[in-house]
Amino acid sequence: MTAALTDAAARVVPCLNPATLSGLPLPQFLALAAGAGFPTVEVSIQQAQACGAGPLRELLAELGVSVAAASGILPAGPVLPAPLLVDPDAYDACLIGLDERLKVMAALGCTVATTVLNPRSRLETAKARGLARQRITYLATAAAAYGVRLAVEAVSIRTGLPPELDGTHPVAGTLPQLAELLDDTGTDSAGLLVDSFHWAAAGADPVHLTALGGRITHVQIADIPNGRTADELTDDHRLFPGDGALAWPSFADALTGAGYAGPVSVELFNPDLRALPAGEIARRSHHAATHCFTLAEAAR
């Protein structure tokens, strides 16, 4: 194993995203994650609120698991998050209860709130980017008051986007574009969420990561299938890290070069993999998160 891979493997912390075990009640998800060996998880803040911060904090302590990040700072229903560029009425509705959601994050020791920026919008590009900057600044400032940092994700897949993320005008579909937009906000309370699948869909350029320096706030991981072009990739193609064609040595080296040390969260939407028994999914996810950064696993 190269020094870079050794360093990356030592610096990252295995984490599990609840989308990988979609449809489970939060306590069951946490139990499966802990049973598979995960020390950290992501949660839907709406699910966490439904459980109650006090009982959930006790369960986390009992299981020996911490919450690395929470989605849903802008909620869409009881589980799913809303993207940043929802229409004005929906955005105003999403802001209702914001302080309560942030209080629960803080009570759970969660220091990262994740959100997704629409790669395309019905709004013209300049207007969409201006609105994104405004909303990022507002949410980041609100989160910072509770010791929570906003992590914004760039979506780089071009095919199969859900309607709420799609449109006719480009906004920011790569990490460099998102980094430029965040720089223009002037806030220090927002960073970038790096997703290995979207990084690969955008061309798998290590410079896209190393140029971010210390601005990477959270990392999600999934592999890409062999034989698919970037234009063909959809979230349904996500594989367990190490089971596909992603250049894990380059990804690991670039994360190390960017100075990232923290959670790497397995996030899968592949319906075939989600159909596996939940315990098997959790175990395979943990194996993937702890082995994909080694050359032997990365070359599979």
Q: Which residue positions in the chain have pLDDT lower than 70?
A: 1-9, 295-300
- d(C-alpha 239, C-alpha 223), whole Å: 5
- d(C-alpha 250, C-alpha 210), whole Å: 11
The predicted pLDDT at position 295 comes to 45
Phi/psi region, residue 82 (left: phi>0; alpha: psi -120 to 50; beta: rest), is beta
Tokens of 59: 């369960």
3 state DSSP class of 155: coil
Tokens of 216: 């990477």
Tokens of 41: 């998880």
Helix ranges (DSSP H) in the chain: 3-11, 26-36, 45-51, 53-63, 88-95, 98-107, 125-144, 175-185, 196-201, 207-210, 248-257, 271-274, 278-291, 295-298
Identify residue 53 by its one-letter amino acid code: A
The pTM of the full predicted model, rounded to 2 decimals, is 0.95
